[in-house]
Amino acid sequence: MASDLIATLRSTFAPIHPEGWLFVAVFAAITALLWWLWAPLGAVGGVLTAWCAYFFRNPDRVTPAREGLVISPADGTVQAIGAAAPPPELEMGAAPRTRVSIFMNVFNVHINRIPVDGTIEKLVYRPGKFLNASLDKASEHNERQSVRMRSRDGRELAFVQIAGLVARRIRCWIEEGQAVAAGERFGLIRFGSRVDVYLPDGVSPLVCPGQTAVAGETVLADLDSAEGPREGEQR
């Protein structure tokens, strides 16, 4: 029972990522000022400060460690699954691939993680608009950070960080040529956003639209599986 309580507390009060400390400090300073001006305003500021700390939480995750698994790079809802061409700047051709889109709201963990073991081949940042990240056209028009990588067995896939309606900063800490492992942290997006994953040809997703994904834990696909697309229903 004690171990369950500790695990719950750790998942609820996860460490704050270093990227968030400046924001938490600014929120706290504004809260102090508001409290001095009028206590009810200070209370509102306190709630917002707590939310800011919650937004930048950085929990550990247990990543399935088997070759060929494609792990979710983001917390959130599997918003859509369909065929789409990868971003042209990645130079992966115009042929459609299966794309899994994961939408993160402002209450999800926003630390992004590597989806598969392999090597980073190409990184391209492209400025753009800040449309609602839940819209399909956000993949084409919004600010984005596109990543092309190759799995250890030589298959090519891509993932793309997409800014959202209130997101104004994409952070990506990996470099071209870097060897990476599934589940490793590679970036974040402030505040509310989306991550698209483009699977290799012939690989079907193992998740369904509407399903909740957990970064670093949920298996999106299996590169070595011949299973077809899955169907799901709300229960």
Distance (Å, whole) CA 219 – CA 50: 31
Active-site residue, selected from the candidate residues 72, 101, 151, 193? 193
CA 172 to chain centre: 11
DSSP-derived secondary structure letter, 24: H
**Is 139 one of the catalytic residues?**
no
DSSP per-residue letters across 42-74: HHHHHHHHHHHHHHTB---------TTEEE-SS
Burial class (CB in 10 A: 0-12, 13-18, 19+), 63: buried
Distance (Å, whole) CA 123 – CA 139: 16
* Backbone angle region of 65, left / alpha / beta, with phi > 0 → left and psi within -120 to 50 → alpha: beta
Record the tokens describing residue 235, joined without a space: 């229960």
Q: Do residues 159 and 145 make contact, with C-beta atoms less than 8 angstroms apart? A: no
DSSP-derived secondary structure letter, 187: E
Residues recognised as catalytic: 193
